[in-house]
């Protein structure tokens, strides 16, 4: 093992890296620990597809399959199409020879370009790196801090009309079919149209013995009818209409669903101008914002804009993601991500924000009913029992099934918008039909795979976490859902392979598991949620946001199946707003606690891999320093003139140096860090003042998706004193 890989990603986490990583490298060098970086940002991934940069993601994907892997992965952009197009435009402006994104490819060249861009869209990073299952929990120091410095979860008003609207039928949940393969095979997916044409949607699909294969569909006609009813309900109840999807992770299916919502809300506009908008390449799937931005190029653009404005005035009131700038819930598909937006709704007393910036009750539209009931169960609980009190509630850590792209729903090359009515079949190599669905044109059909080895590892991890923490573990699985029924068989088969004596391990449907976990939380008791991939994403935002006020403070460890480690650093949902503030005011609110937490087990893993006890000393000292950091309340403030991300890094460095200077496990390290600790403490006021002095003016980082390294470093390291101290160290 030669080094720890620290990833360059996107937005606020990338900016923070320019400030934090030089500190880490300086400290680690004294213990003989080396760091390397790999750029897996959306811009770098685009460049790699066209041979203009190293393919760092593929390299790390191979490394993740080895015992030597030690990767710290910061949050990255899961690119929606509007984000992808914006990144392409920026790279082109910077002089990179990357082609335009082909919206409707017709030539072979355009199809090849589109295929390359498709590899960059959505959660392209996570399935490659996640060669293990997820262990996410709030570190004890963070939980204790939340109890002594509780944030506010607002109460719901008496008679709150906030609720979830979901299809409940004719959707992915209700149409799912699932099989477990008896042997290795190569499958194909074909559409037999009513006109007698055979269309091969996917071939060469390799599956392994014991693998679960699912397929399902969402009916487009029933989706449209559902949306019309939801719009009417929001209008009748005079509540805000808000759709909650995940167009980032579910990069194929959810932008299509989002487009249906846009068309349903603006039905009259699309009835009159839809063909013209389509001809101009303006797609509802990209959101209202992209359409409005493209109207200037149309001869009657002002007329169409007036029609949209009239529809907004006449329709149900929309929720807004930024009322000051007129950005609605329907502007950008990636702006409202269900796993972050729904907990924020609960925290805010069941209210979102309208056009005037005021708060109001909301109809939260989650079309597919697979997990919508989880959020309704939370709403019901809080309405009945009042807001959760962060000072007293227990915690809900998560063990998530995600290894080897398990349950990657709606995000890849097995998801299709059906072109013609007929029957979609999943066919084995011997011609047997494993799964089939009758479909109409416009239906969304998707399949996914879940390998057996990840399931075995998931069950093992759940038992080990339950044993280590002496906490009940609940598998969130619904026996009436096809995929979950197959998973339950495996869980029941693999649990007896482990020592579960004295442990509470149960299987409950997600809505029941939600109610069970909330009941225990209110008693101050902890409950491990053991979930599949999508619920892993949802639960590791839902419960931390209610417990801690944010999901960015979670410890996220991925014990890789091959023996290495992947250490993830929290959630990046707020990252875009932080970048905007930095550019406007030279103030970065991003909280790097996730990076601090991930670095500790990464250093511990390095100590184990390399037989380097000094790395363990670094880790132990950092763990103690993070506790001091929290107790001293050194996380970034909310307004100019307070400590921002850069200042928080300085204080972490100060406390870390002092811990290393005062420890007795390694005398050489103590001697090396004693003068650094003294110098940092002596210059505390000067460094803090230098970091605050730059705030208030615009900052130039040379780009949003691919910022200039020199400019960004200058912005993120503005303290001459701190820079000189680290250079001298």
CB burial of 282-303 (b: ≥16 within 10 Å; e: otherwise) equals bbbbbbbbbbbebbeebeeeee
pLDDT of residue 130: 85
Q: Tell me the pLDDT band of 56, cut-offs 50, 70 and 90.
A: very high
Q: Tell me the pLDDT band of 249, cut-offs 50, 70 and 90.
A: confident
Instruction: State yes or no: pLDDT of 207 exceeds 80.
Output: yes
pLDDT of residue 574: 59
**Cα separation of 471 and 455, whole Å?**
21
Instruction: State yes or no: pLDDT of 688 exceeds 70.
Output: yes
Higher pLDDT, 303 or 141: 303
Closest listed residue to residue 218, CA positions, set 478, 418, 408? 418
DSSP string, 40-58: -SHHHHHHHHTTSS--HHH
Closest listed residue to residue 284, CA positions, set 253, 330, 348? 330
Residues 6 or more apart from 320 whose CB is under 8 A from it? 326, 327, 328, 329, 352, 353, 354, 355, 357
First to last CA, the chain: 25
Q: Where are the alpha helices (DSSP H) in 632-719?
A: 645-662, 667-682, 684-693, 709-716
Rg of the chain over all Cα atoms, to the nearest angstrom: 26
**Cα separation of 283 and 294, whole Å?**
10
Average confidence (pLDDT) over 656-675? 98
Instruction: State yes or no: pLDDT of 411 exceeds 80.
Output: no
Q: Kindly report, residue by residue over 559-599, the tens digit of the pLDDT.
A: 999 999 999 986 655 567 889 999 999 999 999 999 999 99
Spell out the domain ranges in the chain: 4-131+560-728, 219-385
Question: To 10 degrees, what angle do helices 267-279 and 301-314 make?
Answer: 150
User: pTM of the entire structure?
Assistant: 0.86
The pair of structure tokens assigned to 308 is 């949209």
The pair of structure tokens assigned to 582 is 């930095």
Average confidence (pLDDT) over 521-550? 94
The pair of structure tokens assigned to 64 is 């993740």
The pair of structure tokens assigned to 405 is 């792209």
Q: Kindly report, residue by residue over 349-364, the tens digit of the pLDDT.
A: 999 999 999 999 999 9
**Cα separation of 543 and 304, whole Å?**
43
Closest listed residue to residue 172, CA positions, set 205, 118, 220? 220
pLDDT of residue 410: 58
Instruction: State yes or no: pLDDT of 445 exceeds 80.
Output: yes
**Cα separation of 95 and 465, whole Å?**
50
Average pLDDT, rounded, for the chain:
94
Which residues, in sequence order, are bridge partners of residue 214? Answer: 178, 448
Residues 6 or more apart from 143 whose CB is under 8 A from it? 395, 547, 548
Contacts 24+ apart (CB under 8 A), 257-261: 257/218, 257/223, 257/367, 257/368, 257/444, 258/284, 258/285, 258/287, 258/330, 258/333, 259/283, 259/284, 259/285, 259/286, 260/220, 260/223, 260/224, 260/227, 260/284, 261/227, 261/330, 261/365
Q: Kindly report, residue by residue over 77-113, the tens digit of the pLDDT.
A: 888 888 999 999 999 999 999 999 998 899 999 999 9
Q: Kindly report, residue by residue over 266-299, the tens digit of the pLDDT.
A: 999 999 999 999 999 999 999 999 999 999 999 9
Between CA 679 and CA 395, with CA 623 as vertex, the angle to 5 degrees is 140
Q: Give the DSSP H or E segment for 287.
A: none
What percentage of the chain's residues is helix, strand, coil (to nearest 5)?
A: 50, 15, 35
CA distances from 457 to 207, 451, 453, 507, 516 (A): 18, 11, 6, 17, 25
By the 8 A CB rule, do 606 and 617 touch? Answer: no
Q: Kindly report, residue by residue over 392-403, the tens digit of the pLDDT.
A: 999 999 999 999
3-state secondary structure of 447: strand
Closest listed residue to residue 297, CA positions, set 281, 317, 274? 281
pLDDT of residue 573: 55
Q: Tell me the pLDDT band of 628, cut-offs 50, 70 and 90.
A: very high
By mean pLDDT, which of 331-335, 410-414, 539-543, 688-692 is the weakest?
A: 410-414
pLDDT of residue 63: 95
Q: Tell me the pLDDT band of 648, cut-offs 50, 70 and 90.
A: very high
Q: Kindly report, residue by residue over 146-179, the tens digit of the pLDDT.
A: 999 999 999 999 999 999 999 999 999 999 999 9
Q: How many CB atoms lie within 10 A of CB 511?
A: 19
pLDDT of residue 440: 98
The pair of structure tokens assigned to 375 is 């959020």
By the 8 A CB rule, do 67 and 562 touch? Answer: yes
Residue 94 phi, psi dihedral angles, 5° rounding:
-85, 0
**Cα separation of 401 and 458, whole Å?**
6
Q: Tell me the pLDDT band of 6, cut-offs 50, 70 and 90.
A: very high
User: Looking only at Cα atoms, what is the longest distance across the chain?
Assistant: 81
Looking at the chain, the whole-number percentage of residues with pLDDT higher than 90 is: 88
3-state secondary structure of 437: strand
pLDDT of residue 528: 98
Closest listed residue to residue 137, CA positions, set 477, 557, 485? 557
Q: How many CB atoms lie within 10 A of CB 149?
A: 13
Between CA 673 and CA 681, with CA 677 as vertex, the angle to 5 degrees is 175
**Range of 113-127, 621-635, 708-722 with top mean pLDDT:** 708-722
């Amino acid at each position: 093992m030669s080094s720890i890989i620290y990833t360059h990603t996107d937005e606020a986490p990338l900016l923070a890296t320019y400030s934090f990583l030089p500190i880490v490298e300086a400290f680690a060098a004294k213990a003989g620990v080396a760091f390397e970086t790999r750029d897996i940002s959306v811009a770098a991934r685009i460049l790699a597809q066209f041979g203009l940069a190293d393919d760092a993601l593929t390299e790390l994907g191979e490394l993740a399959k080895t015992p030597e892997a030690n990767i710290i992965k910061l949050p990255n952009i899961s690119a929606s199409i509007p984000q992808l197009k914006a990144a392409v435009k920026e790279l082109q402006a910077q002089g990179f020879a990357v082609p335009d994104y082909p919206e409707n490819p017709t030539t072979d060249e355009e199809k090849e370009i589109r295929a390359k861009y498709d590899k960059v869209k959505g959660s392209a990073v996570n399935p490659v790196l996640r060669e293990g299952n997820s262990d996410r929990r709030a570190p004890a120091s963070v939980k204790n801090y939340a109890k002594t410095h509780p944030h506010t979860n607002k109460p719901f008003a008496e008679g709150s009309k906030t609720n979830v609207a979901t299809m409940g039928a004719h959707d992915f949940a209700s149409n799912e079919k699932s099989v477990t393969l008896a042997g290795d095979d190569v499958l194909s997916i074909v559409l037999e149209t009513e006109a007698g044409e055979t269309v091969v949607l996917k071939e060469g699909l390799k599956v392994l013995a014991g693998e679960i294969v699912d397929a399902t569909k969402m009916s487009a006609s029933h989706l449209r009818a559902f949306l019309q009813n939801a719009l009417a309900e929001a209008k009748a109840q005079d509540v805000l209409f808000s759709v909650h999807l995940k167009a980032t992770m579910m990069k194929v299916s959810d932008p299509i669903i989002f487009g249906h919502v846009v068309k349903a809300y603006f039905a009259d506009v699309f009835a009159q101008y839809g063909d013209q908008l389509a001809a101009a390449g303006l797609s509802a799937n990209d959101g209202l914002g992209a359409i409005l931005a493209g109207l200037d190029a149309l001869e009657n653009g002002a007329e169409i804009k007036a029609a949209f404005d009239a529809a907004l005035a006449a329709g149900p009131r929309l929720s807004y993601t930024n009322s000051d700038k007129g950005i609605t819930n329907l502007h950008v598909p990636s702006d409202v991500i269900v796993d972050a937006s729904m907990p924020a709704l609960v925290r805010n007393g069941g209210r979102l924000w309208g056009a005037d910036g005021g708060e109001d009750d909301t109809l939260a539209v989650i079309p597919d009913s697979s997990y919508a009931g989880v959020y309704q169960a939370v709403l019901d609980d809080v309405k009945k029992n009042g807001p959760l009190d962060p000072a007293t509630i227990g915690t809900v850590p998560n063990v998530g099934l995600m290894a080897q792209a398990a349950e990657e729903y709606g995000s890849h090359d097995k998801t299709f918008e059906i072109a013609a009515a007929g029957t979609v079949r999943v066919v084995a190599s011997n011609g047997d039909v494993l799964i089939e669905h009758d479909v109409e044109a416009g239906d969304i059909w998707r399949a996914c795979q879940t390998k057996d080895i990840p399931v075995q590892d998931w069950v093992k991890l759940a038992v080990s976490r339950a044993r280590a923490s002496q906490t009940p573990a609940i598998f969130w699985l619904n026996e009436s859902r096809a995929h979950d029924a197959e998973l339950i068989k495996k869980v029941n088969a693999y649990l007896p392979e482990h020592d579960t004596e004295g442990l509470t391990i149960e299987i409950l449907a997600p809505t029941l598991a939600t109610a069970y976990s909330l009941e225990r939380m209110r008693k101050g008791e902890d409950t491990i949620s053991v979930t599949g991939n999508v619920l892993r994403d949802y639960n590791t935002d839902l419960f931390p946001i209610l417990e801690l006020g944010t999901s960015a403070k979670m410890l996220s460890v991925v014990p890789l199946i091959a023996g290495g480690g992947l250490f993830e650093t929290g959630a990046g949902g707020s990252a875009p707003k932080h970048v905007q503030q930095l550019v406007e005011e030279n103030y970065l609110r991003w909280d790097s606690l996730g990076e601090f937490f991930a670095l500790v087990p990464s250093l511990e893993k390095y100590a184990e891999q390399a037989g380097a006890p000094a790395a363990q000393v670094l880790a132990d000292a950092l763990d103690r320093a993070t506790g001091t950091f929290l107790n001293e309340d050194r996380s970034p403030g909310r307004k100019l003139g307070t400590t921002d991300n850069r200042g928080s890094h300085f204080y972490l460095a100060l406390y870390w140096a002092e811990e290393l200077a005062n420890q007795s496990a390694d005398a050489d390290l103590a001697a090396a860090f004693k003068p650094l600790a003294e110098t940092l403490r002596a210059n505390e006021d000067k460094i803090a003042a230098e970091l605050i002095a730059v705030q208030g003016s615009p900052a130039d980082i040379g780009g949003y998706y691919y910022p200039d390294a020199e400019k960004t470093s200058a912005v993120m390291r503005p303290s001459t004193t701190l820079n000189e101290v680290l250079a001298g160290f």
